Structure 1
Amino acid sequence: MKHISILIPQGTSSLSNIEGTFQILSEVNNLRAEMRQAPLFNIQMVGLATEAKQRNGLFTIKPDVVFEDVKKTDLIIIPAMHGNLPAALEMNKDLLPWVVKQYKNGAEVASYCIGAFFLAQTGLLKGKQCATHWKLANEFRRMYPDVNLVDDKIMTEEDGIYTSGGAYSYLNLLLYLVEKYAGRDVAILMSKAFMIDIDRDSQSPFIIFQGQKTHEDEPIKKAQVFIEKNFQDKITVDQLAGMLALGRRNLERRFKKATSNTVIEYIQRVKIEAAKKNFETSRKNINEVMYDVGYSDTKAFRTIFRKITGLSPIEYRNKYNKEAATLA
């Protein structure tokens, strides 16, 4: 039987992460009981204290056990922690060495959504891939530059460490773990019972590109604003460098450092974000939207659109604009 430790942090945690994990893993045990099989999971909620008040006392969770009393576990689940992240990390810092010790003793570790910040704080993610909520991708990169953040993925797995993307994508990681421990047939049954779209592997269609301006490099901010106001036009790196009186290599280096994108990538993402909004709200066809955002090559537009969103322009329009889809 695998011992599952669902962490119950102090502060404000994702109750859906905690309860959803408990419910689905318990249902796996129930299914096995119906088949006259032994339970697969020993599920415990593990806390810093015997009581954890959440949402300013609106909810209270009573963990089964405090972390010092768990000498050996097989899988640690880290839920998302909301509110002020530095404060949340400080509030729960006593859990960090316990997680590291359990991992070194053979436990696997999974973080949901922005629980990745807590997992990164342990140091276990150094040099490894990691997913988190796309909205906090820039903040994560700033705080943990030695982690390979892949903000388009629903989940990652590396050396017994798992991470999931934003919000309810934790369900996809949870199903993946069920499949690993209980088999594909059980994972499919759970996906049907809880109506979870199994095998979804990208959060790209949900990303809203808002530009990365939480930096102090003012010339680069000016370049970003210029791109966002003139994305319909052909903008070159040399043009921006001349406008800012910077050398091309210096501009490209500073731009990448400040925004985590190259200049060309940034221009592409601004254009595609404008195209996405067009597809969501208008009845324009693919070519009309393409020209509106400054592309003239249909193949290039489709290729870049799919690379950024994970969907073709038609698929995206049909997914997010029902009126346009019915007219297609």
Structure 2
Amino acid sequence: MKHLTIIVPDGENNLSSIVGTYKIFTRANAYWKEKSGKELFRIELAGVSKEIDFHEGLFTVRPHTHITAIAKTSLVIIPSLNHNFQSAVKENKLVIEWIEKQYKQGAEIASICTGAFMLASSGLLDGKSCSTHWAVADTFRAMFPKVNLQTDKLITDENGIYTNGGAYSFLNLVIYLVEKYYDRQTAIFCSKVFQIELDRQSQSEFTIFTGQKLHGDDMVQKAQAYIESKLEEKISVEALSSQFAVGRRNFDRRFIKATGNTPGEYAQRVKIESAKKAFETSRKTINEVMYDVGYSDVKAFREVFRKITGMSPLEYRSKYNKNALA
């Protein structure tokens, strides 16, 4: 029998991702037993404290066992943390060392939402792809520059390490893992019982782009402010770099290093974010919004919008603005 360890970290963390993971895997186990006569996983909650409080003591979790009592496991799941990441990493050094050791012994590791901060602290994500909640992307990049952060992705799967996007999208990761470890039929069963959409791969439509501003490069910050103030214009990167008396190649290099985007990509994301807000809150037509954010070619606007959000402008407006359809 395989062994599944659901981590219950010390400090503030997210109860729903622990309970949800436990419930879905328990149900998958029961379904598997009906089919094959035996359970696939022995499921244990493990931590370093006998009891951990949530929501100012309103809820309490008592892990099955201490982390050090598990010599070998097959799959480790790290739940979402609350937002004091540095404190969470300090409080859970023993857990992080244990996770690293288990991976080296052949275990697979999955992190939920901001649990990626614990996983990245182990060094196991260096040079690998990773997702986390889009709202903490800047902080994550600053803390872990060696990790290839991809916040558009809902799930990453690389070398036995899985990560996922934010909040309740952890349910999609758990269904993904159920299919990996059990089979497609069990994943479909669980998706129907818990009413979770199968095969969701992107969190793009939920992202609110604010731009990486925590980098300390004054020239790039001014360039960002300029791009954000000229939504209706088609910005020439050549003209922008000369405005700051910096060569084009050096300008691009500094901009990418600071923000994670090329100047062109950054301008696209700012424009599309503005378009999304217009579709959510106004009755403007697709063409009106397109002109407002500096596009004159419907096909080009549609392609960029879909690339960034995963949806067409019409699909996005229909989903997020019922009034526009009235």
Give the corresponding residue for 1:215. Answer: 215
Q: Distance in 1 between matches of 2:25 and 2:136?
A: 28
Is 1:279 aligned to residue 279 of structure 2?
yes
Q: Distance in 2 between matches of 1:127 and 1:83?
A: 24
Question: C-alpha offsets along residues 166-197 of structure 1, whole Å, 9 cap, x if unaligned?
Answer: 11111111001111122111110110110101
Bigger shift: 6-15 or 245-254? 245-254
Q: CA RMSD in A?
A: 1.4
Question: C-alpha offsets along residues 209-258 of structure 1, whole Å, 9 cap, x if unaligned?
Answer: 11221121112111111111112112211222232222222221111111
Letter of the structure 1 residue corresponding to residue 102 of structure 2: Q
Letter of the structure 1 residue corresponding to residue 215 of structure 2: H
Contact 1:131-1:154 at 8 Å conserved across structures: yes
Contact 1:132-1:165 at 8 Å conserved across structures: yes
Give the corresponding residue for 2:142. Answer: 142
Contact 1:237-1:263 at 8 Å conserved across structures: yes
Give the corresponding residue for 1:168. Answer: 168
Q: Distance in 2 between matches of 1:320 and 1:83?
A: 28
Contact 2:32-2:186 at 8 Å conserved across structures: no
Give the corresponding residue for 1:68. Answer: 68
Give the corresponding residue for 1:3. Answer: 3
TM-score by length of 2: 0.96
Give the corresponding residue for 2:123. Answer: 123
Letter of the structure 1 residue corresponding to residue 54 of structure 2: Q
Deviation at 1:34, TM superposition (A): 4.2
Give the corresponding residue for 1:77. Answer: 77
Deviation at 1:39, TM superposition (A): 1.6
Specify the SS of the correspondent of 1:12: coil
Give the corresponding residue for 2:19. Answer: 19
Deviation at 1:36, TM superposition (A): 6.7
Where does the alignment leave 5 or more consecutive residues of structure 2 unmatched?
none
Is 1:46 aligned to residue 46 of structure 2?
yes
Contact 1:241-1:248 at 8 Å conserved across structures: yes
Give the corresponding residue for 1:262. Answer: 262
Letter of the structure 2 residue corresponding to residue 151 of structure 1: T
Q: Distance in 1 between matches of 2:234 and 2:67?
A: 57
Deviation at 1:135, TM superposition (A): 1.1
Specify the SS of the correspondent of 1:82: coil
Q: Distance in 2 between matches of 1:131 and 1:36?
A: 34
Deviation at 1:260, TM superposition (A): 0.8
Letter of the structure 1 residue corresponding to residue 185 of structure 2: D
Where does the alignment leave 5 or more consecutive residues of structure 1 unmatched?
none
Q: After the TM superposition, list the runs of 4 or more consecutive aligned residues in structure 1 that deviate by more than 4 angstroms.
A: 33-36
Q: Distance in 2 between matches of 1:155 and 1:307?
A: 17
Give the corresponding residue for 2:101. Answer: 101
Deviation at 1:13, TM superposition (A): 1.1
Letter of the structure 1 residue corresponding to residue 119 of structure 2: L
Specify the SS of the correspondent of 1:45: strand
Q: Distance in 2 between matches of 1:55 and 1:243?
A: 51
